[in-house]
Structure formats: structure tokens, C-alpha cells
Amino acid sequence: MEVATADSATPVSPPAGGLPPGPDWSLPTLTWRWWRRPLQTLDQCQARYGDMFTYRLPHEGTWVFVSDPEVVKQIFTGDPRLLHAGAANIVLLPVLGEHSVLLLDEPAHMQQRKLMLPPFHGKRMQAYREVMGRVAAEEIDRWPADAAIRMRPRMQAVTLEIILRAVFGVEEGERLTRLRDELRRALGLLSQRRRVIFLVALGPRRIRSFPPFRRMIERIDQLLYEEISTRRGTPDLAERDDILSLLLQARHEDGSPMSDRELRDELMTLLVAGHETTATALSWAIELLSRHPAELAKLEDEVESGDGEYLDAVIKETLRLRPVIALVLRKLVEPMEIGGRLLPAGVSVAPCIYLVHRRPDIYPEPERFRPERFLERPAGTYTWVPFGGGVRRCLGGAFAEFEMSVVLRELIARRRLLPVGGPEHPVRSTITNVPSRGAEVVATSR
């Protein structure tokens, strides 16, 4: 009997032409639903159209959502010259600046990313442990023991302080104090949806000349440039292990150091990308733990014994069930076959973190908070994607997971968590999906 091989007998079907189906709502409806109810909209579209569907948004163009891990893999491992991520983040240009690793593509992106990798290498994390623990402990010790507290603002304070100290490596000083105040103001503005909608409507290039915005950025820039110039002249630069000092010692392939503009843009990128995201993830972890006494008790036992396996699983499960960012985007530079379909140039494909994490074939009972699933099976590269993937994977992923573990450990060791009211649901705050009441808990003394 002749055995048919894949080569000889399986008909190779050409990719289906054009975009996959998607909702035929009017543009205002598509926009309204995306801004007001993004996650419910994703659930609805997935139920109706499956693992690949088209969604259109004014200003943003056409997005093709993807939630099959094989197709997500195809995108994350695809040629970065043809799949642009920087272009999709252009809205951040006025704040981050044109050298930001988040906004670049092609060789310029890879060069900048290489320069920034060393401070975020897994092994370096230990250098930040002490400062992370201290910042968290000082913050937690200020909380009342018998009143409900909204965790999100508290975690924002913790993560801003940690990233400032990790980046600049200084504890106190007039410049750090001013920088902290200015950044708090700027980042506060960026988390107000109405203001952001207004700024987005101005368009990324016009925002910079909008006077209140320009003045705010100029004040921050002045402080950053002063810090960069002082640090350049520090005699012990080579011994320092803060991120700015490491970036000052980094060299381009031609041997040249990073310019002040490059440094300013990357510092801003780290401060913006590393603050709100981690605060949101921590708030969700606390909200979920407060409502799951059995899982919380397990974690308390583990923290006492000093291990970290269950804590790691709690962090993984939090980022699975409540991913801070719902999707990432890659814009097609030329027509490309994705998931068996030939998609036209100019379309953005969107590996959908939220939908991948809710697949019942990978995560049975996907709505349940069950950290044990990550003890039974390790997180998969293309099935657990809270930090995106491929050459654009979040630079601060290891930093964020480490920071979450240090902060949660300090919290669990000091306080007992009790829930307030019913479970909170994710609501949109500019880019991240945050707990609807700010993760309200009572944290009694232990």
C-alpha cells in the first residue's frame, strides 16, 4: 500500500484572500464599544467569528485580532522588517520622543534594544531587591489597619518610587524630589481618559506644541538632562549599577556612546512603561488574593517558609486572568500570509493577549483564579503572553515579575487581606485594564 506523504498527497490550498469577517457595526458603534467595553467586545467577536476577526477604528485603521497560539507564534517570530510595532505606538511620541525603543522599528529598534538589555538581564534583578523591599515596607507600614484602602493609588506610589530609584540609583535629593512631583503630575494626566482622548485628537505631532503640554514636558526634560549631565561626570560611574549609569556606559556598534537625546527618550520610556503597568498588575494580584482565602492561606504559609514557587504561580495566574494590556499590534509593511489568509499591507495584526489567556483548551475553567495550573504546567511562550513576544517582548518583564514578588512578599508578611464588596471587574484606563473600584481591600495587621 502506498502511503501518501504530506508533500505528494495533501493538497496545498492557497491562502484565503482578504480580511477575515468581523462586526459590521457602524464606525461610531465600533469606536464606542472599543473605548467603553473593550473586553466584552472581544468576547463577543470571538464567540461570533472565532480566532481571527477584523475590527476597524478611526485614526487606528484596520486591526485583525488573532488568538490561536500557532498564529500568535507566526507573528511573534515573523520578520520584524515586515511587521512593524513602533509605528503602532506613535501616539506616545510626544512624551517618549523619537529615539524611544517603543517607537522604533527595523535595525534602529534592534540597536537601541541591545543597548538597553543589560540592565534588565534576569541576573541583575538581585541588585534591585533591597530597594524594592524597602520602598514596599515603608509604604505598607503607613496604611491604617482597620479601614478600606484602594490599592491602585498605593501601588502606583510604590512602583513609581521603585522605578525612579532603579533608574537613577539615588535615594533622595532635590532633583529627584522635583522629578517625582513632575512625573506624578504628568503620569496622572496620562491616566485620565478624557484628557488623553483630547490629546490623541490633536494628533501626535501637534500635541508637542500645545502650551500646557509643552511646558510640562520641558520641565521634566530639564531635570532629566541635568541628571544625565551630572552623572556623566561622576568618577565612580563604572562601579554604579543603576540603569542610567549602565546606559551611560553602553556603546553603539560603532563605539559611540548614547547621546543625551537618546538617553532622555529611553529614561522617559522606562519611567512610563514601567510604572502604571506594574502597579495595575499588583493591584489585581491583591484584589484576587483577598477574594480567594484558600490560595491566600497557601501563599501566607509559603512566605513564612521562604520558598517562592507558589508566589510565582500567583503572579503568573494574575497576569493570565487579568492581563494589564489586552493586545499588541504589528503593522504589515507588505501583504502577508497570516493564519492561512493573505492580509493586505497597512493592516495591523493584533495578537490578543486577553483572548489567548481565556482559551478553555489551554486553560480549563479559564475564568477561575487557580495558580496551581502553573505548578502543573509551565507557562508557554505563545500561550502566556502578558508581556507580548518576539523581538518586541517587554524589556522589563523579568523586572516586573521580580518587583511583584518582592512587593507581595512584604505585604503578605505584614498584613492579612480582606475583600471589600463584590468582585471587581476590569475597566479601561487609557491603555491598561484596571480594577473597577481601584482594588479595595482591608489590610489588617498580622
Residues near ligand HEM, by CB under 6 A: 85, 101-102, 113, 163, 269-270, 273-274, 277-278, 281, 324-325, 328, 386-389, 392-396, 399-400
- Shortest distance (Å) from residue 165 CB to ligand HEM: 12
Task: Report the C-alpha gap between 182 and 198 in whole angstroms.
Answer: 21
Per-residue b/e over 348-381, b at no fewer than 16 CB within 10 Å? bbbbbbbbbbbbeebbeeeeebbbebbeeeebee
Q: Which is nearer to ligand HEM, 85 or 248 (CB)?
A: 85
CA angle 398/324/307 to nearest 5° reads 45
Residues 172, 174, 175, 176, CA torsion sign: positive
**Residue 152 vs 442, nearer CB to ligand HEM:** 152
Residue (20 or 396) nearer to ligand HEM, CB: 396
* Distance, CA of 415 to CA of 163 (rounded, Å): 24
**Nearest CB to ligand HEM, comparing residues 396 and 435:** 396
Q: Which is nearer to ligand HEM, 405 or 442 (CB)?
A: 405
Please, what is the minimum distance in Å from the beta carbon of residue 22 to ligand HEM? 22
CA 109 – CA 86 distance, rounded (Å): 8
Q: Print burial letters for 148-186: b (CB count within 10 Å at least 16), e (below 16).
A: ebebbebbbbbbbbbbbbbbbbbeeeebbeebeebbeeb
Q: Percent helix, strand, coil in the chain (nearest 5)?
A: 55, 10, 35
Q: How far apart are CA 19 and CA 44, in angstroms?
A: 18
**For ligand HEM, the closer CB: 266 or 442:** 266
Minimum CB distance to ligand HEM, residue 396 (Å): 2
Q: Which is nearer to ligand HEM, 386 or 426 (CB)?
A: 386
State which residue, 270 or 343, has the beta carbon closest to ligand HEM.
270
- The Cα-based distances of 148 to 144, 145, 152, 215, 420 in angstroms read 8, 9, 12, 37, 7
Q: How far is the CB of 96 from ligand HEM (least distance, A)?
A: 10
For the CB of residue 85, give the shortest distance to ligand HEM in the complex, in Å.
5
Compute the distance between CA of residue 444 and CA of residue 446 in angstroms, rounded to an integer.
Answer: 7
Name which of 139 and 403 has its Cβ closer to ligand HEM: 403
CB of 77 to ligand HEM, least distance (A): 12
Q: What is the closest distance, in whole angstroms, from the C-beta atom of residue 94 to ligand HEM in the complex?
A: 17
Supply the minimum distance, in Å, between the C-beta of residue 285 and ligand HEM: 10
Cell 484558600: give the residue: 294
The least CB distance from residue 27 to ligand HEM, in Å, is: 26
Residue 389: Cβ within 10 Å count: 19
Residue where the block lists cell 457602524: 26
d(CA 260, CA 262) in angstroms, rounded, equals 5
Q: Classify burial at 52, counting beta carbons within 10 Å of its beta carbon; exposed 0-12, middle 13-18, buried 19 or more.
A: buried
